Structure 1
Amino acid sequence: MDAHPGEHDRSGYWFADSDTDASSVEVLNLLRRYREAETAMRARVREDMGMGERDILALRFLLEARATGTVLRQKDIADKLDITTASASNLIDRLVRDGYAQRTPHPADRRSVAVEATDDGDREVRETLRRMHDRMYAATTAMDAQERAVVAVFLRRMIASVSTDDHAGDDGHTDHE
């Protein structure tokens, strides 16, 4: 049976299953299952840390900024999360209250306030995710360089395929903007 987009069957994906080894359909189904497992893992992390999705994302941005020496303002968090500055303020208030972040004087702009992850916030995230990250790293390092290269190419192509806005017009704006 030919697989056609939009066709649903027992595979639970858009494409019909085939009997060939490592078919495109199998790879897409495995990718879907990975996304489902990752979504479940993120829910467990949010529950373990007592945080909402945006709070976790904001903390991740703060930890990435810390690792790169980048200074973030509340407005930067609002922009990254596509939320209002008032919502970002409430979010940062929660992170500060719970000890994950702190507000400090901005090093380059005396009129501005920087937001940064705390040592305790960094430590808790590392402790919460350490075993999972260790397993992921072990799975990756178990592959040889050629296998990792193939996976990297595949993932770059998948990222590009889902990053394209099918609703964008020729000017790059969506039809409903």
Structure 2
Amino acid sequence: MDWEKRLHEFEQLIQLGIRQSRGVPPPIVKNLSKQQLLLMFTLNCTGRKTVSELAEELQLSASATTIAINRLVRDKYIERTRDETDRRLVWVQLSDSAREIVEKIRKQRNDMLVRLFNNVTVEEVDQFLAIARKMLQGPEHKQP
């Protein structure tokens, strides 16, 4: 198998996808880092979490997660609340305005993906998803 040739073609396809996605409207909120957006998307899916739960789920350090959350709290995208039964526990969750932003970004992203998959059949999309899942499972999850 000629891996070099295939990897080169894969890189070219990724670059083409990036160029085509440049026609997508700019992000809703420009002052958010990728890390902050990832935190917001995670909280949108999971609801409230502690900082340490978020850090573990996103595989970030507790300090990096705290810094990102502090900025999001400052900008009113995340709300902090103390647990009523254990005051040592602090929960973080998205504010209503942040939920709206996440949904707008998700819609933008989905519109872009629909355009990219426009010339592809449903069966081909299913194959693509199956292959992507298999690739991302890694060797430790391979079946005997």
2:7 is aligned with what amino acid? W
1:6 is aligned with what amino acid? E
Q: Which has the higher helix share?
A: 2
1:158 is aligned with what amino acid? A
Instruction: Specify which of 14, 22, 27 is matched with residue 45 of structure 1.
Output: 27
Determine which structure has greater relative contact order: mean sequence separation of CA pairs < 8 Å that are 6+ residues apart, divided by chain length: 2
Structure 2 counterpart SS, 1:83: coil
Question: Unmatched 5+ residue regions in structure 1?
Answer: 8-12, 16-24, 169-177
CA contact (8 A) 1:105 1:113 kept: yes
CA contact (8 A) 2:43 2:93 kept: yes
C-alpha separation between the residues in 1 aligned to 2:63 and 2:90? 15
Percent identity reads 18
Of 127-136 and 48-57, deviating more is 127-136
Q: CA deviation at 1:155?
A: 1.8
Partner of 2:138: 164
Q: Is 2:42 the counterpart of 1:61?
A: yes
Partner of 2:14: 32
Q: CA deviation at 1:161?
A: 1.8
TM-score scaled by structure 2? 0.71
1:95 is aligned with what amino acid? L
Tell me the C-alpha RMSD between the 2 structures.
3.6
Instruction: Find the structure with the greater CA-based Rg.
Output: 1
Runs of 4+ in 1 over 4 A off after TM superposition: 28-31, 37-42, 107-110, 137-140
Which whole-Å deviations, capped at 9, do the CAs of 1:47-71 have from their partners, x for residues lacking one? x4311111111111011113xxxx3
TM-score scaled by structure 1? 0.60
Partner of 2:66: 89
Which whole-Å deviations, capped at 9, do the CAs of 1:10-59 have from their partners, x for residues lacking one? xxx635xxxxxxxxx6xx467524653598689x538x431111111111
